[in-house]
Amino acid sequence: MKLLSFTTREGAEAVGVLTADGIRVLTDTPEAQSVRELSPMRRLLKQTGGDISRIQNGLSDYSRTDIEEVVLNVPVPDPTKIIGAPVNYADHQNEMKQDLNIRSLGVFLKAPSSLLPAGGTIQLPYFDRQVDQEGELAVVIGKRASHVAPEKASNFVAGFAALLDITMRGREDRSTRKSFDTFTPMGPWLVTPDEVGATENLELRCAVNNTLRQDARVGDLMWGVTELISYVSSIMVLYPGDIIATGTPAGVGPLLDGDNVSLEITGLGRLEVNVTSSGAVECPTSGGGEWLPSRD
């Protein structure tokens, strides 16, 4: 069969099958409808133009439930993309003995399917490779952004969240090393900019098994939130719900089976996840050297 995605004369997006007798339109089937649906968070971002805080005044009109009664998902479970900032803190550049930083490297993409909610479990894929934690501030885009000037960039932010950019060490492409399923824990929630204030003042603390590994000020980013949005939007259109992971400070280190990782950023809550190596196999790529898991 030949399948087509198209826009009808009426402006509706549709999917169909090309036959000798024209296109059979499948979009009206229940299966197609359910797949097309955006997550409730992305619908909310679209409906509010990214300015979620404007619903604040009418909150009491909505139905209510207790947080103990629900299972938290990733704040944005279905972004069109996750953009990462490599080597965006000077102290992390030093610890990695890197010649280059973001000013040379630009940004990279992580697979959205790597997202993991707070309370989830990171799955170490290989028993013979090192995987590190990287605590980071995440920016969630609120409305379509293209070629945005730095001084206007804050208008495009829906909110901020804690994010772990879990990373396999080695010389495979970053999109490989950072895109394993469960390698992007994010949450527990999204906090609107009015409540966060100036991101430069945020403190980031990441611990493994309650031992502090990373302790930094977001103000030490080489490219801050507005510079990042401006730069990324000069390359690719940013859509509501897209996530920018702003980079990690010094203190990254290996994760092992049974570890507990927690990331706290001022005002953004506590993101906590576990680690398992159950099901790990031998790595099919070499990484260009020795990258055995070890505790320093």
Among 123, 133, 230, 248, binds Mn ion (CB under 5 A): 248
Q: Is 259 exposed, middle or buried (0-12, 13-18, 19+ CB in 10 A)?
A: middle
Phi then psi for residue 177, to 5 deg, are: -70, -20
Q: Is 59 exposed, middle or buried (0-12, 13-18, 19+ CB in 10 A)?
A: exposed
Min separation Cβ 265 and Mn ion, Å: 14
CA 11 to chain centre: 32
Q: Of the candidates 35, 124, 121, 115, which has an alpha carbon nearest to the alpha carbon of residue 73?
A: 115
Closest CB to Mn ion: residue number: 165
Q: Of the candidates 222, 223, 244, which has an alpha carbon nearest to the alpha carbon of residue 233?
A: 244
Interface segment toward Mn ion; rule CB under 5 A; list 55-63, 162-170, 235-243, 280-288: 162-170
According to CB under 5 A, which residues from 77 to 136 bind Mn ion? Answer: 134
- Could you give the string, one character per residue 252-291, with x where binding to Mn ion holds by CB under 5 A and - elsewhere? ----------------------------------------
Interface segment toward Mn ion; rule CB under 5 A; list 90-98, 119-127, 160-168, 229-237: 160-168
**Ramachandran assignment for 222, one of left (phi > 0), alpha (psi -120 to 50 degrees), beta (any other):** alpha
Whichever of 134 and 242 has its CB closer to Mn ion, that residue is: 134
Binding to Mn ion by residue 165, rule CB under 5 A? yes
Min separation Cβ 41 and Mn ion, Å: 23
Whichever of 137 and 190 has its CB closer to Mn ion, that residue is: 137
Positions in the binding site for Mn ion (CB under 5 A): 134, 165, 248
